[in-house]
Structure 1
């Protein structure tokens, strides 16, 4: 039964990734139909991100009340309904309304599943599960491309993904009994199997922030996601405008960054069998730093490509290992609350820091791209070391 539940969780992580790149891949077709400026994609993205932040902060309360299995099933159902709504929408403002349940569902399932895996499974599963997210994020645009190249509209692409989410919701509903039979890594009962009257009250945001190491892990997560998303958004422009690499080649190079993350997480799963979470995070940070330095080197295009791939490989273990180490740093009883604020910090970093670099590129110079990443990396390293010192037992 443990293996069956793990298989369902793997499917859930693929499902988490499927919609993430859909908006970007479909928007060139969508905005002309809606007759809105191309920049309006940012409105949809911000609504989704705001919903994920709100639901992440409420994940501790919801998981304690309903359990991870029910929260996951409800959240995926909300996302499926939102995607189904997208598939029938021909109005930009109606699309904005459907973006609300989309964001709320995505945040809840992300925080709940990550905490459950951190509590119940070893670190290599966390790395491989996030690799599965990368698989889903890669498949999403291909599904949209299949719809568009087949003479169908972008609505059909969203419809295909929503059907997959509906099927997953059915699997999750049937799997609910399995979630209550698991014990965490230390053999302690958690929110899915502990009697309701024995559970402590959910922590408020103010209480969470006062926990030693909480502010540090929030900033650490903020910086990591800022690095990942800034690299994702601006690497192609940096290579084209500063390095002089043709736009088409630069776009392919930028795509190698995500391949680096996905392949890196598959490899990280094996490396975690030898190294602990803290060592994996430090290793990832060192590889990111090396990749940034390589990008600064003069020379042929292949050097820039190698730097980008190295940054992606370095990013690979950081996100899953920070999450997996949360119960060890803060205890199983507080891990859901901490992971909830970590997810919220991640989404805030994703929302704020790539646009901030856009302003820097516009008003100063895009050549500062590697410097910007290095500053964020140094702050992340400092916060992680402080976290480790404050929470070592």
Structure 2
């Protein structure tokens, strides 16, 4: 599910030429796709109770295939934006479902490794798209590869349907049973939910803004060659993946709050190196630090949800948090693009630093 997301940042300069849209139009695409993501995230608990986790996950993967086919075949900009909503719906349900399942049934190690698999996908995605573009092929070829890979996932889901929780079997495990009696309004009355959603909003927003705009900043703003900028975009996600594998090995033995604080400081420091633009190599080092430090934050926050709130509320609470993260996925790249259009591409670095500082401040506040 994460390979297409990794492709977008590298493909965007070519896509906007194809459709003759301005630099900040990426924000529109992300906003609409995030709308689909949010809808399914907030409806996850309700849909899971009625369809069963296995069927919901299969249907969601089919939606992603339909959306990616739209990227591959879209004749114009607005049809592309429309299919972005469809793919966003599929991704929202998959995201919420897998996070809820792992949060209740598994430990910090496996939760980090689940998210490491996400990081592996967004590492491979830019590599695929860079290979396509450096061979003077259309960006659509990259999305054709993504369609093929997602179809393989659908086939695997069909073959393994009997292994997934069905109707009446909670994706969140036995402790999550009875959540059907919990209303969304009762969850929203908990102050901790709003604070938690705000942190998820900023974590995902910063992560996405870096991934979607670093290629443009390096290539169009700082004159870094296409192949090099694409490589470093992949290495950002690569450090992200390595970080999740690393922290997966040791997270169970670490104090979660202390680890989160240290990593959020490292995110701000690495982003400052990108903003300062002292040398290309220091910028690349800052990018690697940001990816590595961001790695455990999202999975650890998800994992803590059943403990902070109650396993009984886990499916809906995690759905709301993932929904907030989905909003951040579009809002912060969108704002970064608006600032870049109005103040110049170099303002991307300033925007990224602002998001990192806000994230640290909200978490510590």
Both proteins in one fold, TM over 0.5: yes
Q: Which residue of 1 aligns with 2:358?
A: 376
For 1:207-233, what per-residue CA distance to the aligned partner results, in whole angstroms no more than 9, with x for missing partners? 322124101101111121232233335
Q: CA deviation at 1:62?
A: 1.0
Q: Which residue of 2 aligns with 1:200?
A: 180
Q: Which residue of 2 aligns with 1:190?
A: 170
Task: Report matched runs for 1:63-74 at 5 Å.
Answer: 63-74=48-59
Number of corresponding residues = 358
Q: Which residue of 1 aligns with 2:246?
A: 267
Divergent runs of 4+, >6 A: 236-241
Q: Who wins on radius of gyration, i.e. which is larger?
A: 1
Q: Unaligned regions of 5+ residues in structure 1, if any?
A: 1-15, 182-188, 384-393
Q: Which residue of 1 aligns with 2:3?
A: 18
Any conservation in 2 of the 1:220–1:379 contact (CA below 8 Å)? no
Rounded Cα–Cα distance in structure 1 between residues aligned with 2:356 and 2:131:
38
Q: Unaligned regions of 5+ residues in structure 2, if any?
A: none
User: Cα RMSD over matched residues?
Assistant: 3.5
Task: Report matched runs for 1:1-393 at 5 Å.
Answer: 16-37=1-22, 39-145=24-130, 153-180=138-165, 190-191=170-171, 200-201=180-181, 203-204=183-184, 206-233=185-212, 246-248=223-225, 256-292=235-271, 301-357=280-336, 362=342, 366=347, 368-369=350-351, 371-383=353-365
Rounded Cα–Cα distance in structure 2 between residues aligned with 1:209 and 1:26:
38
Any conservation in 2 of the 1:278–1:321 contact (CA below 8 Å)? no
1:219 match: secondary structure: helix
For 1:255-313, what per-residue CA distance to the aligned partner results, in whole angstroms no more than 9, with x for missing partners? 54333212211211112132154343233223224435666779655444333322222
The TM-score normalised by the length of structure 1 is 0.77
Rounded Cα–Cα distance in structure 2 between residues aligned with 1:368 and 1:23:
21
Relative to structure 1, the CA distance from residue 37 to residue 115 in structure 2 (aligned partners, 3 Å threshold; closer, same or farther) is: same
2:170 match: secondary structure: coil
Any conservation in 2 of the 1:236–1:251 contact (CA below 8 Å)? yes
Q: CA deviation at 1:99?
A: 2.1
Relative to structure 1, the CA distance from residue 198 to residue 53 in structure 2 (aligned partners, 3 Å threshold; closer, same or farther) is: closer
Q: CA deviation at 1:28?
A: 4.2
1:200 match: secondary structure: helix
Relative to structure 1, the CA distance from residue 30 to residue 62 in structure 2 (aligned partners, 3 Å threshold; closer, same or farther) is: same
Q: Which residue of 2 aligns with 1:391?
A: none
Any conservation in 2 of the 1:179–1:192 contact (CA below 8 Å)? no
